[in-house]
Structure 1
């Protein structure tokens, strides 16, 4: 157990340091927002770019891995919707927002550093395979569902157009796409350029974890407590449990199996709040689920790592 805590606790200590720095006004919210702009628009895209250029496409894109993880995402989305409709007794639009929060795991800011510390940098190819599709898949599902339940919504076609527009300007997706382009074409890149990109990428995860802690200060634990329990329970327990069962059924190898379960075990990501705010539905529950889910995942992620 101590070896597991040695993997997870340092990651959450960095998040806690960011939280304390903003809470005690050592950093202003504006300074942390600037740090997150650097990580989200520059450093993490550089990290994903390098990862995609080095990814062994003949082994990394395993269809069973994607089915294992993303079938769980759909199950969590459905569970969040059904729980909201029949347990919380809230409307369909709130149900979609809560379902999205239950589905959208923090695959990058939490998933990558924990997996790297647990199994080493050489183990991350399956994690990056999941990440390559994550934002596009979740936003497509969430926006399409929201448009479908809204009177006069543009439905599936409108959801596809909205997702395409958002993804075409998303820095993380641009980093993934450019890295895959270099990988597929074999385009040689100058060594000084690669070294500069690697230097920026090296700052990505610690800066992003610190910034995540600072961002969480503005998310207050308020709203329907049952909604927060529903969202966090689905995200932290149901998703990794489903990935475990599906990965076992499909006969995933050890590396992809670990990646699927551990990535599924991550807390709801900040995009959960952004999606809710964009549609003006279940905003407090989504924001609180990001904050509380991140805090609770210190224990839950450690538990899944111990099982793995």
Structure 2
């Protein structure tokens, strides 16, 4: 609520829309949707399948992605990542909500319950929450400010810069704190399978599509690294909201994050050869 918006707004407040390239982002979502659909069909087109499909495609682009990309690719890489972050949750969480609500509506119709109106309201609420949120909103506002041609006065810009620079180390500490509360136990096998799909298969799909389409190396590198990031916390909130596969998702978050120490290193080493 403080450090993240400060970093996002300050970074995007000097970026003009014509500098943004949405082609790598579109390519990223094509790869994510392919994996999402594959897991959904494989797991049986039900509520649990929708949550697990989201688990395999939703990256921790903020808490881990921002510090990592900032260190590896600098300001240019951050702008590319922020372009993805601005629509990441909106696209994937809305998709998962639509799928889950359709499945739920089908189940409820079989029991003589449910309505199309309820489903529509839920989807609209998902879209709204994907925009009115501490992550995409400051990106959008920062971009809008940049288009005015104005420059942040130092009395505003300097505090935002200081708050934003604190985000990286604090975020990584919080990730570690979260992991200490997670019990993996009997869900290790399922969590490991989900983590491998998330950490390795998704970046492989992004890399294959990007190379086939001739994407610029720098943009493609950031997208591949973003795809290799561990599972994001929003997946747990999603599972909790629908009361589906909460234990598996929680375990998968922990395993995906710990496994990321090895898989992100591997992915970034291979990306460096592009």
TM-score past 0.5 threshold: yes
The structural deviation recorded for 1:116 is 2.1
When residues 230 and 206 of structure 1 are mapped into structure 2, their CA distance, relative to the original with a 3 A threshold, is same
Deviating more after overlay: 163-172 vs 257-266: 163-172
User: Map of 1:22-33 to 2, 5 A cutoff?
Assistant: none
Give the one of 107, 113, 138 matched to 2:67.
113
Gaps of 5+ in 1: 1-40, 86-90
d(CA) in 2 for partners of 1:243, 1:159? 30
**2:17 corresponds to 1:63:** no
Q: Tell me which residue corresponds to 1:54.
A: 14
- Are 1:304 and 2:263 counterparts? no
Give, in whole Å, the separation in 1 of the partners of 2:123 and 2:143: 22
More off after superposition, 113-122 vs 65-74: 113-122
State the 1:121 CA deviation.
3.2
Provide the residue aligned with 2:111 in structure 1.
none
| Offset at residue 226 of structure 1 (A) | 4.0
When residues 283 and 153 of structure 1 are mapped into structure 2, their CA distance, relative to the original with a 3 A threshold, is farther
SS in 2 for 1:124: helix
Q: CA deviation at 1:126?
A: 1.1
Unaligned runs of 5+ in 2: 109-113
The 1:223/1:285 distance shift into structure 2, 3 A limit, reads farther
Question: Is the aligned partner of 1:241 residue 2:204?
Answer: yes
Q: When the two structures are aligned, how many residues end up with a matched partner?
A: 262
Distance 1:230 1:82, change over 3 A: farther
What's the C-alpha RMSD, in Å, of the aligned pairs? 1.8
Deviation, structure 1 residue 156: 6.3
SS at match of 2:50: helix
Q: Is 1:216 aligned with 2:142?
A: no
Matches within 5 A, 1:1-308: 41-60=1-20, 62-85=21-44, 92-150=46-104, 151=108, 152=114, 154=116, 157-308=120-271
Counterpart-to-counterpart distance in 2, 1:76 and 1:276: 19
The DSSP-based 3-state class of the residue aligned with 1:238 is helix
Contact 1:64 1:250 in 2 (8 A): no
- The answer on whether the counterparts of 1:231 and 1:289 sit within 8 Å (CA) in structure 2 is yes
Q: Deviations over 1:113-144 (max 9, x none)?
A: 22222233343221111111111111111111
Which secondary structure does the structure 2 equivalent of 1:108 belong to?
Answer: coil
The answer (yes or no) to whether the contact 2:192–2:255 under 8 Å persists in 1 is: no
Q: CA deviation at 1:262?
A: 0.6
Q: CA deviation at 1:192?
A: 0.7
Scaled by the length of structure 1, what TM-score is found? 0.80
| Runs of 4+ residues deviating >4 angstroms | 153-156
What corresponds to 1:12 in structure 2?
none
